[in-house]
Amino acid sequence: MTDSLIQPVDTQRRAPRRIGAQARTAHPAGAGDGHPADAADGHEAEEILRRTRASVDPELRAALDGLPGPMRRAALYHFGWQHPDGSPAAGGAGKALRPALVLAAAAALGGPAARDRAVRAAVAVELVHNFTLLHDDVMDRDATRRHRATAWTVFGDADAILAGDALQALALGLLARDVHPAAPAAAARLADCVVELCAGQHADTALEGRGPGGVGLGEVLDMTEAKTGALLGCACAIGALYAGASAQDVDALDAFGREAGLAFQLIDDIIGIWGDPRRTGKPAGADLAARKKSLPVVAALASGTPAAAELAALYARPWDAEDLESTVHAVERAGGRDWAQVEAADRMARAMQALSRAIPEPERAESLLALAEFVTRRTS
């Protein structure tokens, strides 16, 4: 991958998007054709996510209930299960994509019994994901998540950070106490993933201190793989471990998750600029206002177009609320949105190729395919 963006990627040539004749083609957000199958795919994924929440939430809540009071309060609030005063709430705890990938990978390679035995591992992955969210919100000073105030804005930095630390410890504790023979390997893999996640977050924070012309597209893609793709890959790999898969199949599932994770982040970055705040739960243009160097922005800056120069000037000067619309238009005119959509499709093509190495039969991979497509069709 070069740091220029202008040449579209031929995804059919580089990596087939299909697993056998029955597999579906993934489309990035905004690129769907409106076919009824698209809606059916979305409903399938939503049902998988609903079943995942039903499987993991009881053990997840039991784990949180064992935390000391202040950390328990902040964690339960973060998951949407309590109001700030401790009274019960019915807010959403997130999409549960990562635990869904654990369970789907286990089922694809080992059947329903393997899926059932992987629930504790799925909970551990969800705990690690939310550890990163609690910490990221503090570091990024994000004020809203899931349509409500972030934990640090309610309980303060210290309580939010300590709650995140506790979630990470709970995750590794769950795997340490799991009698499944794959648990030690899963714990080691998840611990390594946490280090990679921290490295990705460090790189992301360091990039924010550099000028708009000093950031290459390749290094932002590397940072994104560490910060987002790593945990999705780890989730899939842990599911494969719990199914007793070979080392080659575990690695193939990790590669599938990493590439799908990059597609996920590309679409997330598109939504962060052009999404509807009523659906996203975040203010419009928050990442642009914070001068975050998201993938569409860096691609636009690297385009060498007049709009790229305009965008660089906007990013280099103090922020004015009236600059938001101009910045959005500059990113789009410089090709950032189009590049991100094409790149998301290419990453999904690579994900499909990796998946086909471990699971060539499309009927066994249906749940993984549905989840992968869900992340590139979503609007929030």
* CATH number of the domain where residue 257 is located: 1.10.600.10
Q: What is the pLDDT of residue 102?
A: 98
Rg (CA), the chain: 20
Question: What whole-number percentage of the chain has pLDDT above 70?
Answer: 87
Q: What does the pLDDT read at residue 6?
A: 30
| pLDDT above 60: residue 305 | yes
Terminal-residue alpha carbon distance, the chain:
28
Q: For the whole model, what pTM was predicted?
A: 0.86
pLDDT at 357 (0 to 100): 95
Mean pLDDT across 174-184: 97
Q: Is the dihedral of CA 169, 221, 369, 379 positive or negative?
A: positive
- Does residue 331 fall inside a structural domain? no
Counting Cβ atoms within 10 Å, is residue 180 exposed (0-12), middle (13-18) or buried (19+)?
middle
Give the pLDDT confidence of 185-240 residue by residue, as tens digits: 999 999 999 999 999 999 988 887 787 777 889 999 999 999 999 999 999 999 99
Whole-Å CA distances, 366 to 22, 121, 355? 10, 21, 11
pLDDT of residue 41: 57
* Total residue length of the chain: 380
Report yes or no on 130 lying in a domain: yes
118: containing domain: 34-265+361-377
Distance between CA atoms of 248 and 357, rounded to whole angstroms? 9
Q: Is residue 296 included in any domain, yes or no?
A: no
Query: Is 344 within the bounds of a domain?
Result: no
111 in a domain, yes or no? yes
pLDDT in tens, 119-164: 999 999 999 999 999 999 999 898 988 889 999 999 999 999 999 9
Domain count for the chain:
1
| Residue 321 predicted with pLDDT over 70 | yes
Residue 29: is its pLDDT beyond 60?
A: no
- Is residue 329 a part of any domain in this protein? no
Is residue 8 a part of any domain in this protein?
no
| 286 lies in some domain | no
Does position 169 have pLDDT exceeding 90, yes or no?
Answer: yes
